Structure 1
Amino acid sequence: MNQAILFNDDIHFDASRRRLVFTAMVSGMIVPCVVLVPETEHEPVTHFRSHQFDYEMQAEQLIEDEDYSASGEIELTFL
């Protein structure tokens, strides 16, 4: 695990945009990490908690690859 990347415990679901959002601290900067949630998922935060380690690993790799969106977010694949 990269010591320069720390994940905060701040998951929330943005229902209007159907996405989960959590943040990472990367060298002192807050980086939003987002997961688009399909309509079939009725408990997105519970889903995230069940797969949190996998989402954090995915985000860590994308951050290390500097794969940021135009808005500065890390966009993850729904598991």
Structure 2
Amino acid sequence: MNQAILFNDDIHFDASRRRLVFTAMVSGMIVPCVVEVPESEVEPIMHFRNHQFDYEMQAEELIEDEHYSSSGEVELTFL
């Protein structure tokens, strides 16, 4: 695990956009990490908690590769 990337414990579900959002701290900057959630997912926060390590690993790889959206977010694939 890259120690220059720290994940905050701040997950929330944006119901209007149907996405999970958590943040990472990268060299002093806060980077939003987002996961679009399908309609079929009833408990998005519980889903995240069950797959948190996998989402953080996915985010870490994208951050290391500097794969940011035009709005500065890291867009993850739903697991």
TM-score band, normalised by shorter chain: over 0.9
In 2, Cα distance between equivalents of 1:60 and 1:27? 13
In 1, Cα distance between equivalents of 2:75 and 2:9? 18
Amino acid at match of 1:53: F
The question of 1:75 aligning with 2:40 is answered: no
In 2, Cα distance between equivalents of 1:41 and 1:3? 32
The question of 1:38 aligning with 2:41 is answered: no
Amino acid at match of 2:68: Y
Segments of 5+ residues of structure 2 without an aligned counterpart are none
Amino acid at match of 2:24: A
Q: Over aligned residues, Cα RMSD in angstroms?
A: 0.2
Amino acid at match of 1:65: D
The number of residue pairs the alignment matches comes to 79
Amino acid at match of 1:47: H
Amino acid at match of 2:70: A
Q: Percent of pairs identical after alignment? A: 87
- For residues 22-75 of structure 1, the C-alpha deviation after alignment (integer angstroms, 9 at most, x for no partner) is 000000000000000000000000000000000000000000000000000000
Once the two structures are TM-superposed, the CA of residue 19 in structure 1 deviates from its matched residue by 0.2
In 1, Cα distance between equivalents of 2:7 and 2:19? 18
Amino acid at match of 2:26: V
Q: Pairwise mapping of residues 1-79 of structure 1 onto structure 2 (< 5 A)?
A: 1-79=1-79
TM-score, normalisation: structure 1:
1.00
